[in-house]
Amino acid sequence: MARNCVARLAMALAASWAAAAPALAQATQTEEQERRGALLRNLPEWAAKRQFGQQTAAAPMAARSIGSYAKGCLAGASALAVDGQNWQVMRLSRNRNWGHPDLIRFLEGFARRAPGEAGWNGVLVGDISQPRGGPMLTGHASHQIGLDADLWLTPMPSRRLSNAERETMSATNVVRSDWMDVDPSVWTPNHTRIIRLAAKDDKVHRIFVNPAIKKALCREAGGDRAWLRTVRPMWGHNYHFHIRMGCPAGVGGCEEQDEPPEGDGCGAELDRWLAMQHKAIFGPKPPPGPKKPPPPPMSVDALPPMCREVLVAR
């Protein structure tokens, strides 16, 4: 009984997540600013997302990813240039093109390989991290230590996008309207190639995509399947894919994630995800219970102690 309740709650949360996440990731500058303003009016001073969300420059310290992907911060960040030969950064007003220098170098190299190895002119880069990492005012639980990057599932056009286009243009939703497979009118073999290119890099420990995308990758991978282990199903992620690098070598304080389970992940686990997602979006909604207040925001104290130094470094 209790188990069933928990499952229903998870389902309800998942439904709101699945509905809200793409909208958040795709929000235009105006929508994003309204959301930030409303949040700031209600957030206590000690909230980590208030403190880190308002930082505008990197902490001038040696580069270091501190803590875990969803509870940590970033010292000595580098910014990805907003334009490269094979990439363009989107939503510049968010100022989230900051990452650990290892991730920034990886992204530059990856973008350069996109034309030759995936048939894309280049990549459109969404959120990486804030200048000092940490929790964000809007969107994302992770992206806190400069080792996560969202890449749009839209190939980079051959021209430079204007600032206005970068704020308002929407990425491509590649998932079919029943959320059980990709949409064949927008999905291409090059989508598989670009995700595979990232997944085959040893520095990339995980890639998150919608379960419907993983289904397509499983079908299209053919005999070369080891890379599929790196690609994990996740809510949302139907407009972009999410690259997660492992902790940089030789520096302590960065919490590595467990290895993904063995195997290509194309069997029972994927089926469960597809069924769970379908039920969350289309299934009967649980009867409305008493509304619980939202949990309090994460405080600066909840982060590793060194994140206080990162916050105040000048």
**What is the nearest approach in angstroms of Zn ion to the Cβ of residue 44?**
26
Taking CB under 5 A as the rule, does residue 233 contact Zn ion? no
Instruction: With CA atoms as reference, report the closest residue to 136 among 214, 51, 42.
Output: 51
| Of residues 70 and 284, the one with the C-beta less far from Zn ion | 70
Taking CB under 5 A as the rule, does residue 264 contact Zn ion? no
| Of residues 150 and 264, the one with the C-beta less far from Zn ion | 150
Taking CB under 5 A as the rule, does residue 96 contact Zn ion? no
**What is the nearest approach in angstroms of Zn ion to the Cβ of residue 143?**
6
**What is the nearest approach in angstroms of Zn ion to the Cβ of residue 168?**
20
Residue 234 Cα to chain centre, angstroms:
10
Q: How many CB atoms lie within 10 A of CB 211?
A: 26
Which amino acid, one-letter code, is at 111? A
Contacts of 197 (CB under 8 A, 6+ apart): 110, 113, 114, 117, 118
- Residue nearest Zn ion by beta-carbon distance: 242
Looking at residue 85, what DSSP letter applies? T
Instruction: With CA atoms as reference, report the closest residue to 210 among 177, 237, 173, 230.
Output: 237
For residue 4, give the H/E element and its range: helix 2-26
3-class DSSP state for residue 92? helix
Q: Residue 242 forms beta bridges with which residues?
A: 150, 208
Count residues contacting Zn ion (CB under 5 A)?
A: 2
Taking CB under 5 A as the rule, does residue 167 contact Zn ion? no
Instruction: With CA atoms as reference, report the closest residue to 98 among 124, 125, 79.
Output: 79
| Of residues 16 and 162, the one with the C-beta less far from Zn ion | 16
**What is the nearest approach in angstroms of Zn ion to the Cβ of residue 24?**
11
What is the crossing angle of helices 211-220 and 268-282, to 10°? 140
Q: Which stretch binds Zn ion (CB under 5 A): 98-106, 212-220, 237-245, 306-314?
A: 237-245
Taking CB under 5 A as the rule, does residue 153 contact Zn ion? no
Taking CB under 5 A as the rule, does residue 150 contact Zn ion? yes
- Distance (Å, whole) CA 225 – CA 207: 15
**What is the nearest approach in angstroms of Zn ion to the Cβ of residue 127?**
6
Q: Which stretch binds Zn ion (CB under 5 A): 149-157, 175-183, 212-220, 264-272?
A: 149-157
Looking up tokens 């699945």, which residue turns up? 18
**What is the nearest approach in angstroms of Zn ion to the Cβ of residue 232?**
12
Taking CB under 5 A as the rule, does residue 242 contact Zn ion? yes
Q: Say if CB 235 and CB 17 are below 8 A apart.
A: yes
| Of residues 100 and 242, the one with the C-beta less far from Zn ion | 242
| Of residues 111 and 207, the one with the C-beta less far from Zn ion | 207
Which residues of the shown chain bind Zn ion in the complex (CB under 5 A)? 150, 242
